[in-house]
Amino acid sequence: MRPMSAIVGAIMALSVPLAVPVSASAFELISRSEIVAISDGSLPGASLNATPRAAVADAPVIELLQPNATTHFRAPVDIHVRMRPGLGASLDMSSLEIRYVGSIFSFDITDRILEHAEVKDGEIMASNADLPSGEHEILIRVNDSWDRKGERRFSFTVEE
């Protein structure tokens, strides 16, 4: 669970306009040494918390708008995610969880992204996320106000 200050910060960020970039410099989303440590479970905070959730009718929908439909790209990359709540509900942004998924373990990177992101109306935009070359998987989870749980995994390859 993230500290309350991170949750409050994410909620307060809802008023930041999307058109203004947060930072022009790249930020490290995950390092090569962290990837190795996540894979063997030695990174503090690594957990088995990437088990797929059961599908729920009218659960929030999560779309990856950037990087675009291609699964191969060079870093750094801009990240743009759109989340929509289930019918008749609103998003519960305090439930937002973004995890980097290794071979067995995963690691919560929610705060890393939110520190460099603009959040508004269910959209998250982070510019210049740096990742090492190789294959990566990101898991995004969010609930709506009716506690319906949405989840989406994205796999991609960063080229050298």
Q: Closest Cα partner for 121 from 148, 84, 79, 80?
A: 84
- Tell me, what's the pLDDT at 155? 87
Pairing state between β 27-28 and 149-159: unpaired
Task: List the pLDDT tens digit at each of the 160 positions of the chain.
Answer: 444 344 434 433 333 333 334 445 788 888 888 888 877 777 777 776 666 666 678 899 999 898 875 678 888 888 899 999 988 999 999 999 999 998 788 899 999 999 999 999 999 999 999 988 888 899 999 999 999 999 999 888 888 8
Q: Closest Cα partner for 144 from 85, 82, 98?
A: 85
**CATH numbers and ranges of domains, the chain:** 4-159 (2.60.40.1220)
Q: Closest Cα partner for 30 from 81, 95, 98, 94?
A: 98
